[in-house]
Structure 1
């Protein structure tokens, strides 16, 4: 995670960013710290990547890379405003000694990649359509040695996979069907017949931009219907308020790069 000490909305590269809407950076830091403390309270170790001046979106740490079994497929951002973030993430992974694969294809890390270790022995789901090029899916498969399933995003409000779908445990997911093409919806239905489906209202509240440890599901506090469905399915919803960071087009998951050793 990377604290939003320099967080502002001074450019617009997704439908949620409004450069005329004021950002309370002090509140953003307070909310981010509450999120970090939530993960620590739930028993997770949090590494902090120090923010850099001139990179206001660095708080969205999920976009910097994607790792599986200590191998890191690096990010190559679509927009120049975020390009330098990739190097900051690489320095972190070099420090902890993980093998880093430099990408040649445009991709935005865990924004468009996620992993289910028990599905088909280890399955990567990968989004494309707005930020990540579909060619990056094949490159990630070669880098990580895991099968990759391509899913096409069709609604610009859900410009990354991580605002449309999330793993709940090692083999099941929750997603909003309207974010995907008809063919991709068919693929998801075949792969995950027991998936939880989110409403459009909860998806627009960034409810799917969540982090689950298989039991506790940390999600945006506005996604109340989804929280109820998760509770009914046996999970424990842990609501967190991130109103300021939503102004940049992200929420819980966007702030977290999961380290898969």
Structure 2
């Protein structure tokens, strides 16, 4: 009798399908680190606005190369962090939920983004509670993953439920270096995510494990360069080029990657996803 043969070859990656994306961005024409509102910022170290613009432009061009519809909001002098467009609100089903920032330095961004939403056809909902938009609200498999603990209040999650009539999954962030949800979770496609377990409390981590048993787990080294602060179309992920382990994990799952250097913008506490607000009509 012939011995039973076992196929030990690794299974082929799952084919991925790109989904068209429309995003809002803001050129960092006024970027500078002149105050400290997160652990990444150090106003004692000079920053280069020119370099920030150059690096941002590589992201802008990469999105255009992917076929994204990229829309722009005009930067406003004195709003150093307006480049981090993700924090400007959350859009879904033609509605826009505005941002109400934690720190006074960023408060004027909220009305600026709400004006843009209103001028571009969204039904705008002015927030009652503190929240920092898509920095802490991520759409996944029809539900809204919603962070709280540092920049967004738990009460704002009730506003999300009322406005969008979607399931809202509250996740508590506990590491000050990962103060927004989009620094600790990356949306890979409608059903799949990557995340850093240590960024969450025990209950939130257990909920992520239950919902996403096959999630990509990212280590501290890749997270420390904001590797999870990435964005893609379901087939290609744009990620921090220094997040080598994350890149390998994505390739194993069948995702293409584009590695970018946004190191100057990282000094303000943001990366690829922070510079990107998805527009959903």
Fold conserved (TM > 0.5)?
yes
User: Are 1:81 and 2:101 matched, yes or no?
Assistant: no
- The residue aligned with 1:96 is 120
- The residue aligned with 1:21 is 45
| Contact 1:73/1:144 (<8 A) preserved | no
128, 139, 144: which one aligns with 1:124 = 144
TM norm structure 1: 0.97
The alpha carbon displacement at 1:180 in A equals 0.3
- The residue aligned with 1:246 is 266
Gaps of 5+ in 1: none
Q: Secondary structure at the match of 2:177?
A: coil
- The residue aligned with 1:7 is 31
The alpha carbon displacement at 1:200 in A equals 0.6
| Contact 1:174/1:208 (<8 A) preserved | yes
For 2:280 and 2:149, the matched residues in 1 are separated by: 26
Q: Secondary structure at the match of 1:81?
A: helix
User: Are 1:70 and 2:94 matched, yes or no?
Assistant: yes
The alpha carbon displacement at 1:21 in A equals 1.1
64, 72, 75: which one aligns with 1:48 = 72
- The residue aligned with 2:249 is 229
For 2:231 and 2:110, the matched residues in 1 are separated by: 22
- The residue aligned with 1:217 is 237
Q: Whose helix fraction is larger, Structure 1's or Structure 2's?
A: 1
Number of aligned residues: 257
For 2:159 and 2:60, the matched residues in 1 are separated by: 32
Gaps of 5+ in 2: 1-24
| Contact 1:220/1:240 (<8 A) preserved | yes
Point out the structure with max Rg over C-alpha. Answer: 2
The aligned runs of 1:76-225 (5 Å cut-off) are 76-116=100-140, 119=141, 122-225=142-245
Spell out structure 1 runs of 4+ moving beyond 4 A: none
After superposition, what is the alpha-carbon deviation per residue over 1:40-69, rounded to whole angstroms, capped at 9, x for unaligned? 000101001110001000000000000111
The alpha carbon displacement at 1:172 in A equals 1.1
The alpha carbon displacement at 1:194 in A equals 1.2
Q: Secondary structure at the match of 1:56?
A: coil
Q: Secondary structure at the match of 1:58?
A: coil
For 1:141 and 1:23, the matched residues in 2 are separated by: 40
- The residue aligned with 1:30 is 54
The alpha carbon displacement at 1:112 in A equals 0.4
